[in-house]
Amino acid sequence: MNQMRDPEKTKKAILESALQEIHRKGFTGASVNDILKATGLTRGALYHHFPTKKDLGLAVMEMISQDMAQMWLAPLEQCQDPINCLQQILRQARQTLKEQDIILGCPLNNLAQEMSPQDDDFRIRLAAMYNRWRQGVAQALERGQAAGVVDRAVEAYAAATFFVASLTGCRGLAKTAQSPEILGLCAGTLARWLETLRA
């Protein structure tokens, strides 16, 4: 029937569909059948590209982490004032976030909360991603200190950790409340906290 064989497209389609499903239902709750249903493919196709459901999940996680890196790490690297920069990204994030994205929460955090205690392969990769994120913020802050725009008394690493944690927490709270307003309120306070780091 479907004589159109294009491994790249197939793989991409599976990943895309899996991302949706996992975002919606979590990894455990995600149904391989439903993932396939959305693509029109069958089990054989999937297990050709991804030996197990876990492999698929890890691949999806990789995708997500790249999105995250592009949104947070890339801009931070070429940044004069990290505080302005972080506030800017924060604003931008809130604008691009759709209703659905608020309800479903941060896909990375969802996976982290669900899978960290379940599976070390997930956990190690997830921890690495969060480390990269925190490191990115910390280094930007340190550059800010060197440039004299961030208070030297600030412990960059601790502040970066708190920033990432709080942001994640804000998004989690908004998810449970299904409320963009709460996200705004919470992110606003976070932005104001950033001000306390200035030189």
Partner DNA sequence: ACATTCGGGACGGCCCGTTCCT
Partner DNA sequence: AGGAACGGGCCGTCCCGAATGT
* 62 versus 155: smaller Cβ distance to DNA: 62
Min dist CB 68 to a second copy, Å, is 14
Residue 52 gets which letter from DSSP?
Answer: S
With beta carbons less than 8 A apart as the criterion, state whether 174 and 186 touch: yes
| Contact range with a second copy by CB under 8 A, out of 7-15, 37-45, 99-107, 143-151 | 99-107
From 15, 26, 90, select the one nearest 55 (Cα to Cα). 15
Q: Which of 11, 49, 53, 123 is in the footprint of a second copy by CB under 8 A?
A: 123
> Taking CB under 7 A as the rule, does residue 12 contact DNA?
no
* 49 versus 123: smaller Cβ distance to a second copy: 123
Q: Which of 105, 107, 136, 144 is in the footprint of a second copy by CB under 8 A?
A: 105
Mask of contacts with a second copy, 16-35, x by CB under 8 A?
--------xxx-xx------
33 binds, among DNA, a second copy, none (CB under 5 to 8 A by kind): DNA
Q: Which of 20, 26, 34, 104 is in the footprint of DNA by CB under 7 A?
A: 34
Min dist CB 49 to DNA, Å, is 6
Q: Which of 84, 113, 135, 139 is in the footprint of a second copy by CB under 8 A?
A: 113
With beta carbons less than 8 A apart as the criterion, state whether 18 and 56 touch: yes
DSSP per residue, 139-167: HHHHHHHHHTSB-TTS-HHHHHHHHHHHH
H helix intervals, the chain: 7-29, 32-39, 43-49, 53-68, 74-77, 82-96, 99-104, 107-115, 120-147, 156-177, 180-195
With beta carbons less than 8 A apart as the criterion, state whether 147 and 86 touch: no
Report the interhelical angle of 82-96 vs 120-147 (nearest 10°): 130
Which pair of tokens denotes residue 70? 């592009």
> Taking CB under 7 A as the rule, does residue 188 contact DNA?
no
> Taking CB under 8 A as the rule, does residue 186 contact a second copy?
yes
Residue 77 gets which letter from DSSP?
Answer: H
Task: Give contact residues for DNA (rule: CB under 7 A).
Answer: 1-7, 9-11, 30-34, 40-45, 47-49, 51-54
